[in-house]
Structures are given as structure tokens and as C-alpha cells.
Chains A and B, each alone.
Chain A
Amino acid sequence: MIVPDSADILVVGGGFSGLMAAVFAAREGRRVRVLSRGQGALAVGGGTIDLLGYVPGRAAAVRAPFSAMEALGADHPYRLAGIPMVRQALDGFLQMCLAAGYPYEMEGGAEAPRNRRLLTSIGAMKPSCAVPSSMSMQGAEAAEEVLVVGIEGLKDFFPRLAVPGIARYLKGNVIPVLLRCPEKLAPMLEVGGKSVPSRDVSTLDVANMLEERDGRAWFVDRLRRHPAFARLRGKRGMILLPPVLGTKPLPDVQKALTEALGCPVFELVAPPPGVTGLRLRALLMAELRRLGVDLVMNAFVVRPEYTPGRSGAMHVAAVQVESGGRLRRCEASAFIMATGGIYGDGIEVTPSAVRDRVFGEAAPVSSALKPVDAGWSEPAAYPDFAAGYSHAFARLGTRVGADFRPVTENGLVTLENVFYAGRALGGHDPAAEKSGNGVALVSAFACAVHACRVCPAGSAPQQ
């Protein structure tokens, strides 16, 4: 009759890796609870699955990520997981999105994925792998006339700035179009004889507007009346927008605009709020509810409670969680740590040390970077930066073995039922490699698989 407040698997962290780990584990029939402080970077990011865009030391963008993975260090999360697991993770993700009615597209499929080029709001190119259909730019090679459309007052998106860069990647004519800001978004003010929007406008604001029928009608009408729109007549045209095609994980807004404008409409990559990431988060939240995952927001994990484990490793029985000035215990059979890196607060950096915020020394942080007496700013702290490799600071994170449990320098497992996913992991540099969400997804899958092995379904009492 007495039911302890426990889960089979406790996920710490509610960013992309934490939520995906929860989905994968719950699909295996485990009772999963997620503890999250803050909602991670997912909602403000681009939500694209950048698998592996660059290999450190090589200038050219990667075309075939699987073969490029061979060039990564042995401690890289992809090398630890192995290609079959990378494939399963990608496949699981694509199937989930498809079933949710918001498909992601990936060239070559999970068997042999190939990278694609995403264009950004400053006209740069970013190699990515699985992207929402709204970003797929299908038929871009054949487009003769391409309009890059912005709205006056919209932050961080200036068509004239983006066009020269975008033109380098497309065959057709690329033309900037700037629409007047609608009163609905920001009433205009007269300042020094000039009419300017009275407030800031973000991609999220435009996305909210385009979700409404009126907002779409305004947009279609203005764009159709713009002189540049006439260029599309009788030609194969394409319209590129910042990420503004609605906030819900549905293809509806893209479909409606494509129909109303008579040519395909796609989204570019933009700085936060990325909107496409917000859609992915909404999709994941619905999936978690469907799977009965218990998501606890604003929960701050303070410290673990240990019991002796087998073969010298420690066993974690529970974590202590702080809320409202009180500590509570959360028990579980396995723990997946998706606590983020330095920015996400999973890893603490002081002038003389780097440590895991929850487990400290018990989950050793790997790095080629040695704290030196004089501190982090000394060149001696960065042995391989000069050799053209990416910055060692960026690769700093928890050192794990092949089953994603933390290990010592000699490869001995330190915590027998704790697994690490996402940015907390050492051995990868998401910014330089363009591998952030890819590593998050693959490590989330690997953690779920290995965590399920240490806690068979039904081992904890049902809630």
C-alpha cells in the first residue's frame, strides 16, 4: 500500500538531451521523472539536428557525417556510442516527429545520412543534418527568382545584409524585400521627421502574428503588392523568411503561405528566439505528456545520496532537491544527468578547478586542459589550441566510458547507475563541430538504453 515517491529513471535537466532521454526511456516502459531548473536552451535555439558539420583541423564542411566520425577522438560521444546507436537515435527522432505531424527531413535517411546546407540570417552557411520541413529548401537549386523577405523593425534580420551571402549558395536571382512594420506589431512613431517602429519586434512576435488568419492576410497582401513580387510571375520562385512560420509544431502556417503566395516558402536560421526550437520543445512536451512522464519544473538538484555499489563504484540511491527553502529526496534506480555544460550550470569553473556541480569529484571532468597555478588565462592551460585543434575549454566535460557512465582517467566506473548526456559530456566541441543537438540526441538515446539495462521494467513500484 505504501508507495514511495520514486521513479525508475530520474532525468536531471530539461533541455533537448534531457527531454529526449526521458522520451526514449519512457518508450521502453520505464517510469520517468524529469527534474528541471530553467527550460534549457532548446526553446530559443534553432531546433535543427546538426550531427557533425566540421571535423577539428579540417576546413571543409562534412558531407557524410558517418564516415567523418572516424576522424573524431576516441573519447568523442559519437565514438563511444558507435554508428549503430547514432543511427537508432536519428531514426527514433525522425519517427517521433513524423508521428507528431511535424516531420523533420534528412537526406539519405538514418542508414547513410548526408549533411545539407542551411542558410542563416546573415547569409552564412551552416551544415546541418535533420531539419524541419520548413527549413528544407526543397527545390532551391531550380529556383530562378528568390525573395528574402524581412519586416522593418524586426531584430537581427536585415534582408540586404543576408542577400549577398545567400546569393553565393543559390543559382537564381536573390532579391531583398523589406515590408513596412504593421501597426499590429508596433505602432509607428515620428522621430526626427522619420517614421520608426515604436518598439522592438522579434521573430517570435512575427510567428505569433502569422499564426492568426488576419496576420497572414496582412503579410500576403503586403508582399503581393511589393514591386519585387512581380518578378516571380511566370518564373520558378522561392521566398525565404526568418523563422516565423508559427509557434506550434504544425506545418499549417507554411502550407497556408505557400498556397496564398503561389510559390514555396522556407525559413532561414536566425539568432534567439529561434522559434523553430520552440516548436520542437512544444512537440516534446506533448510527447512527454502522452508517455506519462512526470516533468517537475523549477527543481534544483543539490546533492546525491550514496550507498555502496558493486565492484568499487558508488551507487546513487537518491538526489536531494531544493525547492522553497526545503530539501526533498527523489529516489530512482538510475539517473541520467543532462545538466548542461559551463553555461548551463552543469559544470562549475573556478579559477583553480573544474567540477561537476552535483557529483563533484565522483564524476570526474575530462579535459586536455590543466588548471595551472597562474589560472586559466595562461597559454600553458591550452596545450593543443596552437596545433589548430578547437579550443580545449570547449571540449571540457564529464569523462564517460562506452556506456556513458562517468569513469576515472584509467577507465574505472565511479558511479554505477549514473549516465551523462548532452553538453555535460566532455570530448566534443559543439560550436566548432556543429554537433550540439546531434550529440544531445545520440547521448540521450545511449543513456536511455544503458539506464534501462540497470533498471528492468517494473523494478520500482508502479505509481
Chain B
Amino acid sequence: MRPIPSIDRCTTCSTCVTACPVTRVTRRFNGPKLTGPSSQRFRLLNRVEIEALDYCSNCKNCDIACPGAVQISTLNMLARAEQCRRHRPPFRDWVLAHGRFLGRLVSWIPQALLRFGMTNPLSRLVLDWLGVDRRAPMPVFAAKSFMRLFAGLAQRPSSRKVVLFPGCYINDYDPQTGLDVVWLLNRAGYEVIVPVSECCGVPLVANGFFDEARKNAETVVKALEAHAAAGIPVVAACTSCSLMLRQEYGELFAGLKGTETLAPQVRDAGEFLAECLERGELPLPEHVAADAFIYHEPCHLRAQGIGRPGLGLLRRCGVRVSEAGADCCGISGSYGFKKGKYDVGAAIGAPLFASVHEAVSKGAAAAVSECGTCRLQIAHHTGARVRHPLSVLREILDR
């Protein structure tokens, strides 16, 4: 685990500013250079926090661009944590950070009442009052959580085991993607273990509930550590989860025990399946007849330094997938849901939405992207169908 390099590695070259999607669309944000390392110098002197800190979406494009490996967004998140310790964040942020809490309530509600989620008129009214934009693409709770569906699966026992970390998005909103990943892992000869359904803590960090995020991290690491220590790989299909588990735990939560054991075992699900392919465990057909797709690379996948394994798997099957080439979709977890941020998020994603529209008009069947909230945002702004690349891969292999 790399330590956070000193802010003195920042030479104020402005590279981060050229890569920041928020700076591109709003003058309310002072940009990563001033909000990150430059303000950090004043933070060390205990000066007041700048308001613009709130505009950092933690998308991490600044960190990715920085030639000096300064972790700018991490500085911002640590500063936000400190600010939220002093001033309680709005209740709106509590709700968005605790989507999981609502999810747990909802999982016991009968099928007929399911639209109770965050999308019925009453919830909308409450969310509006809280400060969630009325237009925001709130996700709909799944009828049965991933954990309940997974419990009902019959797997063939295998000596080769892999841990799947579903995270809150797949567990509460999108269990089918989780099931598709389990199917693929089984197909590669692995027995899947799911020890924990806790949220990794990303939304808590982004909304400033830092101490609580640390508690989540402790629960998650505790549940996964023994498996990791036994050399069992831990995969996540949501890119923000895998980034958090493999990198941010170590950066954000100093002294959190077990992260060094866990981190080297963590992989993005596509990355793991690409390794299975290399080992000969997952034979793929070469020239399948399939629809065309357009791919969006989530920021938090780019931040992992592993390229685009999901895209690579589809292309190896001969699937035609073009790349949108956009920097960010603008949702950044719960950022684009908030009043005052919805329009920022929409403006950030505009070039991406234009690319998706164009691809669909030229015959693409759907957009594909690994991140759950990216999919939500793209679908909301384009009306296009948006899928996880591994769901498409399962469909190809499961014919």
C-alpha cells in the first residue's frame, strides 16, 4: 500500500485541472489544484475550509492525471471528513450515504408494495424536501436482494474458490448482475463464497460520514481477511467497491488492520475472469454473432491501473464494441442526485450521452459499463439500455 505522498510533490503544474470534469462545467468549483494540495497547506494551519470542497465528486481523474502521483481526491475526502466532524452534513447526505439502510427495510416488504423504494411520489416528495433533485435517477429496489437469491443457488463444490463482494448496489438494486458474475465464475470452475453484504463505505466517505465508513471498512475487512489470508481471490463487479477495497482503505483509514492482507487479493471481476481466460479456465468462443455495443470506462476502473478487462473479454469473443472516450458520466455515486449538483452531473456527462445517442442511432443495442451508478446515469440521460459487460458475456456463453 502506497502512502499518500506529501503535498510538496505538487508542483502546481495544472495537469489535474485539465483532467477535472467538474472544473470543465462549473465555475463554482475552484479546481483540484486549489481545492486539493494548495488548500491543504492552509488546512495544516487550521484555516477555514473553502466552500468549493463540496463540489469535488471524488471521481479521481485528478489523481489519474497527476504526473507527481499526488492523491488529490484523497486529500479532498480527508478534508471533507474533517469538515463534517465539525459541521454535521445535511440529512439529505445521510440518506444518500445510507441507501443500504433503506434497502434493508425494503427487503422485507411484500412484492406488491415494492415501488415504495426511492421512486414513488411520497418518497420523491420527502427526497425533494431533503435536497435530492426531483429529476435524479433514483434506483429501484430489487424484489429480492442478491444475498437472498444467492442463498437459493445450488453450486457445484470445487477446490478452487473465489470470494465475491457484491456491495450495496448489486445487493439491493441490481442482483441480476451479481448472479451473472456468479454464473461466469462457476463456469470458470470456481465455487463462489459471499461472506458479507455490507456496503464498502464509498457513499459514506463521499458524503463525509467518515467515522461510520471506517466501521463499515472494519466489518468488511474482518469478513474477508481470513479468505484473503488463505490466498482466495476477492472479486467485486462494481468498480468503486474494488477500488475502495484494494486502494482507498489503506489511504483513508490509517492503521486499519487486515487491509495489507486483503488488498493484494482484490480484483475487478472482469480482471479476474481475464486471468481465468489466460489460465485456460474460461474458454471463450471467438467469432460470436452478437449485437454491437458502446462502452463507457468508469473513472474508478481507470483509477485501478488495470485497463478495461470487461471490454477486452467482449472483444475477444468478436463482439463489436466501440469506446465512448468520455472522461466521466457525472453521477459519481450520489453526487449527481443532489440539488445543485444534478445539472453539474448532467453537463459533465453530456459528451458521453451524445456518444451513446450516436452509437444507438447507428445500431448499437445497448451501452455497457461496469459501474452501477454510471449505468443509472447513462440510462437516465439517454434512455438507452445499459448493461454490465459481464452480463453480456454471460448471455453469449449461456446460449
Residues of A within 8 A of B (CB): 1-5, 33, 37-41, 43-44, 184-186, 199-200, 202, 204-205, 208, 247, 272-273, 278, 285-286, 289, 294-300, 321-326, 328, 340, 343-345, 463
Contact = CB atoms under 8 A, between A and B. Distances in A.
Interface in B230-288: 242-243, 246-247, 250, 260, 263-264, 266-267, 274, 277-280, 283-284
Contacts of B64: 38-39, 297-298
Given A39-B65, A199-B30, A324 B305 contact: yes
Contacts of A298: 63-64, 302-305
Contacts of A4: 278
A364 to B, nearest CB: 25
Contacts of A323: 304-306
A202 to B, nearest CB: 7
Interface of B: 1-2, 13-15, 17-19, 23-24, 27, 30, 34, 63-69, 242-243, 246-247, 250, 260, 263-264, 266-267, 274, 277-280, 283-284, 302-308, 312, 315-316, 323, 325
A47 to B, nearest CB: 12
Contacts of B267: 326
Given A37-B305, A298-B63, 11 more contacts: A3-B278, A37-B67, A37-B69, A272-B13, A272-B14, A273-B17, A289-B323, A298-B304, A300-B305, A324-B266, A324-B304
A202 B17 contact: yes
B49 to A, nearest CB: 16
B280 A2 contact: yes
B14 A202 contact: yes
B27 A463 contact: no
A298 B67 CA distance: 10
B268 to A, nearest CB: 9
B66 A296 contact: no
B323 A38 contact: no
A65 to B, nearest CB: 28
Select the residue from A184, A326, A328 with max chain B CB neighbours within 10 A.
A326
Given A4-B278, A324-B246, A39 B304 contact: no
Nearest to A285: B325
Given A38-B65, A297-B305, A463-B312, A325 B280 contact: no
28 contacts: A3-B316, A33-B307, A38-B15, A38-B64, A38-B66, A38-B68, A39-B64, A40-B67, A41-B13, A199-B27, A199-B30, A202-B14, A204-B17, A204-B18, A285-B325, A294-B307, A294-B312, A296-B305, A298-B63, A300-B305, A321-B305, A322-B305, A324-B304, A325-B246, A325-B250, A325-B263, A326-B263, A343-B67
A328 B266 CA distance: 13
A43 B65 CA distance: 10
B304 A344 contact: no
Given A3-B316, A38-B68, A325 B14 contact: no
A273 B14 contact: yes
A144 to B, nearest CB: 36
Nearest to B302: A297
A110 B238 CA distance: 49
B264 A325 contact: yes
A200 B50 CA distance: 14
B247 A345 contact: no
B15 A41 contact: yes
A101 to B, nearest CB: 16
Contacts of A289: 323, 325
Contacts of A37: 67, 69, 305
Contacts of A326: 246, 263-264, 266-267
A40 B27 CA distance: 25
Contacts of B264: 325-326
B253 to A, nearest CB: 14
Nearest to A186: B27
A328 B64 CA distance: 18
B278 A324 contact: no
Contacts of B68: 38
A278 B243 contact: no
Contacts of B14: 44, 202, 204, 272-273
A44 B280 contact: no
